[in-house]
Structure 1
Amino acid sequence: MSTEDLLDAIDSVLTEYDLRSTQTIDTLVQVLEDE
């Protein structure tokens, strides 16, 4: 699974729970890039 696929999956889950926010996505991207 690519990072883009992972972010899409996360985004789908967050949207489903109505918790989507740019800050959350940016934080996840930073964590993935740090690894």
Structure 2
Amino acid sequence: ERALYDTVERTLLNCLRFERSRYDETQDCDLVRGLL
């Protein structure tokens, strides 16, 4: 379970970097936010 949280954390950090972009990363960010 800890590994899952680490992955989510890394994904969120990536989201911050791509926040202003309209790449696939922003879609992943929306998915992660939906899970939280």
TM-score, scaled to structure 2? 0.49
TM-score, scaled to structure 1? 0.49
